Amino acid sequence: MPLTRKLKEMIIVKQGVSVVTTARLHMGFFDLNGDLGRRFGSIGVSLNQPATALHAWQAAQFSAEGPGAARAVKIAERLAASLQLEGAMHIQLQHIIPEHAGLGSGTQMALAVGLAMNHLYGLGLMVNDVAQLTERGARSGIGLGTFASGGVIIDGGRGANTVVPPVIARAEFPAHWRIILIFDRTEVGVHGEAEISAFRNLPQFPAEAAAILCRHVLMQALPALAEHDLPSFGTAIRELQARTGDYFAPAQGGRYASPRVTKVLSWLEQLGVGCFGQSSWGPTGFAIVEHQSEALALLAQLRTEFSSYDALAFELCEGRNEGGVVSDIAG
């Protein structure tokens, strides 16, 4: 018997799965009124970083190691119970999207864990199935859409019979545009029961304002993406941010959740940056500029201008025009 064949037979290969999924910006809802029968509807974009990346293998019981391990195990156990799965898995997390920062960490963790389980056990689940089983996508389908295909996602909100908000449009994010993320490491965005309470207790959003925002998305943001027209895209996003931010102000303490990020965004506006805002409930802010050189120059200015703010951090990233990656590993 050839030596190579003998060696192969001696090695037991333990097959596993790798899942990598990235953060997203949620740029705003455009119909918080809902008197046409659908409420919410939102626009967002997939980022190339930060990311959640994990490896997983079949195991006799659920366990995890690395950042977010306890959360991953909780998701996996709940999924297995719902699916009546006879089996478990060990999860090794390399890194995760910052939690409660407005970047979709919970949804991406749930999808990563659920699709890893799906791959290991051949369950035949799709992204929306995992979302439903883990109760993600309650108000927005942005995180599900970015996992599925990346790019700029528009979802259609929730109707009376909606299970998961449907993706109704997708556009490529221009490859040369750059995104600067603005982190406040001392704050967390509204989440959990506080988020549910906010939606329950806030007054009805004006129908006239919702109509204006829908027009900005359909007739300004989407055409601007097709034509790589950042000033027009920025105008649409700023309008979304202003109207929805002011609506949510009683729940989050102002148009933006973090006073420090608010200072940065005000400074950017005075500098003439045309596209900026807060992702979801924040506290993370963002700014979008046309080119890498402009982004690097602005990043240097930000770090100099706000060097005395230890809580602030800035990160340069790009849009991502492809979805999450699920692949086999051996080891």
HEC secondary structure over 25-93: EEEEEEECCCCCCCEEEEEEEEEEEEEEEEEEEEECCCEEECCCHHHHHHHHHHHHHHHCCCCEEEEEE
Q: Between 10 and 326, where is the model more confident? A: 326
Every domain of the chain with CATH number 3.30.70.890 lies at: 178-317
Every domain of the chain with CATH number 3.30.230.10 lies at: 15-172
CATH number of 178-317: 3.30.70.890
Q: How is 232-275 classified by DSSP, letter by letter?
A: HHHHHHHHHHHHHHHHHHHHHTSSSS-HHHHHHHHHHHHHT--S
User: What is the arithmetic mean of pLDDT over 82-99?
Assistant: 95
- Whether residue 50 is preceded by a cis peptide bond, meaning omega within 30 degrees of 0, is yes
**pLDDT, tens digit (0-9, with 9 covering 90-100), for 148-179:** 999 999 999 999 999 999 999 999 999 999 99
| pTM for this prediction | 0.91
How high is the mean pLDDT of the chain?
93
**pLDDT, tens digit (0-9, with 9 covering 90-100), for 247-273:** 999 999 999 999 999 999 999 999 999
- Kindly list the distances between the CA atom of residue 77 and the CA atoms of 89, 131, 156, 163, 295, in Å, as whole numbers in the listed order: 9, 15, 31, 22, 43
Give residues with Cβ within 8 angstroms of 146, minimum separation 6.
22, 24, 44, 45, 46, 104, 153, 320, 323
Which pLDDT does position 197 carry in this prediction? 83
User: What is the arithmetic mean of pLDDT over 191-213?
Assistant: 88
Which pLDDT does position 331 carry in this prediction? 61
Which pLDDT does position 1 carry in this prediction? 39
- Kindly list the distances between the CA atom of residue 163 and the CA atoms of 157, 183, 250, in Å, as whole numbers in the listed order: 10, 32, 29
User: What is the arithmetic mean of pLDDT over 41-58?
Assistant: 97
Which pLDDT does position 14 carry in this prediction? 56
What is the Cα–Cα distance from 83 to 41, expressed in whole angstroms?
Answer: 30
Give residues with Cβ within 8 angstroms of 196, minimum separation 6.
none
What is the Cα–Cα distance from 194 to 142, expressed in whole angstroms?
Answer: 21
pLDDT confidence tier of residue 137, bands split at 50, 70 and 90: confident
Any idea which of 11-15, 87-91, 210-214, 223-227 has the lowest mean pLDDT? 11-15
What is the Cα–Cα distance from 20 to 22, expressed in whole angstroms?
Answer: 7
Query: In this structure, what token pair is assigned to residue 237?
Result: 């996003």
Determine how β-strand 285-289 pairs with β-strand 167-171.
unpaired
The answer to whether 118 and 100 have CB atoms below 8 angstroms apart is no
Half-sphere exposure of 247 (CA within 13 A, CB side): 25
The answer to whether 145 and 164 have CB atoms below 8 angstroms apart is no
Burial class (CB in 10 A: 0-12, 13-18, 19+), 201: exposed
What is the Cα–Cα distance from 298 to 316, expressed in whole angstroms?
Answer: 10
The answer to whether 43 and 153 have CB atoms below 8 angstroms apart is yes
Which pLDDT does position 8 carry in this prediction? 39
CATH topology of domain 15-172: Ribosomal Protein S5; domain 2 (3.30.230)
